[in-house]
């Protein structure tokens, strides 16, 4: 069963993180949504966070994990939010689970995305935890490959003490490296969701382009598109209040 952070009571809402992410990244958003009459479940997807590690890593497998989790909650219906990789999981989930009432997708579309995590993977795989590096030394190695401080901070959140003197990453780096191609895969074009759908995107991001919107509507005919000014791909972290405002506006519409 997937690990989850749960807060609040009311209408059930699932949050699905992106590649290298985990439920912890959503902590403040979870708390604020829970204060609005929602029972928020932020999940760690397989090979991420505190959830189980597996050699199998695909969108189909991740969707089945989430359905298994939802089955255990006995919900009649629920809302799902997914960011980036989690957005693709959310889209496929909505197409496969009739209990999804509303779908919110953050800065991703169902199309194919060319691999673009190579430098991050190179940096992560350059770390030798056998030499017992501390957090600063891990950052030092990462900085030789990843110049953006914010990206390194995001990755360093995954560090934990595996033994009293040895750090490790929570995510399954071996499998994520081997299966990185899975993350960019297009979702099957015959899968669709007819219910209320919100695509939130960062206006400074290039993940959802104006020309993608017509294609997206073929699979998600009820899609609304809202661009957040001044936000890039990490829109929920860069513009949390605007993100929350749009999410709540959409949820309360129906």
Q: Residues 17, 41, 83, 233: which is the catalytic one?
A: 233
Which residues, in sequence order, are CB contacts of 191 under 8 Å at separation 6+? 91, 92, 95, 96, 219
Q: How many CB atoms lie within 10 A of CB 238?
A: 17
Q: How far apart are CA 80 and CA 68, in angstroms?
A: 15
Ramachandran angles phi, psi of 123, nearest 5°: -65, -45
Q: What are the b/e assignments for 123-136, b being 16+ CB within 10 Å?
A: bbeebeeeeebeee
**Choice among 48, 51, 83, 84 that is catalytic:** 84
Task: Reply yes or no on whether 84 is catalytic.
Answer: yes
Annotated catalytic, 58? no
**8 A C-beta contact, residue 94 and residue 198:** no
Tokens of 110: 């169902």
Give the residue numbers annotated as catalytic, written as ranges: 84, 233
């Amino acid at each position: 069963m997937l690990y989850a952070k749960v807060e609040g009571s009311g209408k059930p809402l699932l949050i699905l993180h992106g590649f290298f992410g985990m439920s912890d990244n959503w902590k403040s958003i979870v708390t604020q949504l829970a204060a609005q009459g929602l029972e928020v479940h932020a999940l760690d997807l397989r090979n991420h966070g505190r959830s189980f590690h597996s050699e199998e890593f695909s969108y189909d497998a991740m969707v089945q994990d989430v359905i298994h989790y939802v089955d255990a909650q006995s919900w009649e219906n629920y809302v799902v939010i997914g960011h980036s990789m989690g957005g693709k999981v959310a889209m496929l989930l909505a197409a496969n689970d009739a209990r999804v009432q509303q779908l919110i997708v953050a800065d991703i579309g169902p199309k194919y995305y060319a691999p673009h995590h190579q430098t991050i993977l190179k940096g992560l795989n350059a770390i030798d935890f056998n030499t017992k590096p501390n957090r600063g030394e891990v950052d030092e190695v990462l900085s030789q490959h990843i110049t953006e401080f914010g990206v390194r901070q995001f990755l360093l959140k995954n560090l934990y003490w595996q033994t009293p003197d040895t750090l490790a990453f929570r995510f399954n780096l071996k499998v994520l490296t081997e299966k990185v191609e899975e993350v960019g895969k297009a979702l099957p074009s015959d899968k669709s969701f007819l219910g209320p759908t919100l695509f939130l995107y960062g206006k400074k991001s290039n993940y959802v382009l104006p020309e993608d919107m017509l294609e997206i509507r073929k699979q998600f005919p009820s899609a609304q598109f809202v661009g957040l000014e001044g936000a890039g791909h990490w829109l929920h972290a860069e513009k949390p209040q605007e993100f929350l405002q749009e999410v709540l506006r959409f949820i309360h519409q129906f």
